[in-house]
């Protein structure tokens, strides 16, 4: 499996996220234009003239800046979470947010021993580690 990014293997993850988000947002914009052209095909006399009518309509700026902003934010969040999942492993993000107590995370950051046992390790494994 190739571990290359969108542009190349030496690009930073942030650059890859930005490029992917821009490409996906462009795809959403094109899909919206096609949808608006399809909706106005009867009034304009066909699909091609319907797309031209979308560009010449005074509501074109609503198409430009309206519905694609929330989808762009959602795509950005999706791309960031995808990079985090690759970095933390298949279930690392879920384990970090839903099973690791906050006190344990803070204790790891400060270099202290956590006051609670590690619930991700079964009791038998914990006994073997302390032996």
8 domain-assigned: no
Helix (H, G, I), strand (E, B) or coil at 39: helix
110 domain-assigned: no
61 domain-assigned: yes
pLDDT along the chain (131 residues), means of 10: 55 87 86 83 85 78 68 86 84 76 76 56 57 58
105 domain-assigned: no
36 domain-assigned: yes
121 domain-assigned: no
pLDDT at site 1: 41
125 domain-assigned: no
- For the chain, how many structural domains are there in total? 1
33 domain-assigned: yes
Q: Which domain holds residue 88?
A: 13-99
Distance, in Å, from the CA atom of 44 to the CA atom of 37, rounded to the nearest integer, reads 9
In this structure, the number of other CB atoms found within 10 A of the CB of residue 42 comes to 9
pTM of the complete model: 0.57
- Please say whether the beta carbons of 54 and 64 come within 8 A: no
- Please say whether the beta carbons of 63 and 54 come within 8 A: yes
* Dihedral (CA of 51, 56, 60, 64) sign: positive
């Amino acid at each position: 499996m190739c571990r290359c990014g969108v542009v190349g293997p030496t690009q930073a993850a942030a650059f890859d996220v930005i490029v992917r988000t821009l490409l996906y947002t462009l795809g959403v914009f094109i899909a919206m234009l096609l949808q608006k052209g399809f909706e106005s095909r009867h009034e304009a006399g066909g699909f091609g003239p319907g797309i031209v009518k979308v560009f010449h309509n005074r509501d074109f700026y609503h198409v430009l800046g309206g519905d694609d902003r929330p989808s762009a934010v959602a795509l950005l969040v999706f791309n960031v979470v995808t990079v985090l999942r690759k970095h933390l492993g298949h279930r690392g993000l879920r384990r970090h947010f839903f099973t690791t107590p906050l006190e344990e995370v803070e204790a790891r950051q400060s270099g202290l021993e956590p006051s609670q046992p590690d619930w991700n390790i079964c009791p038998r494994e914990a006994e073997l580690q302390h032996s």
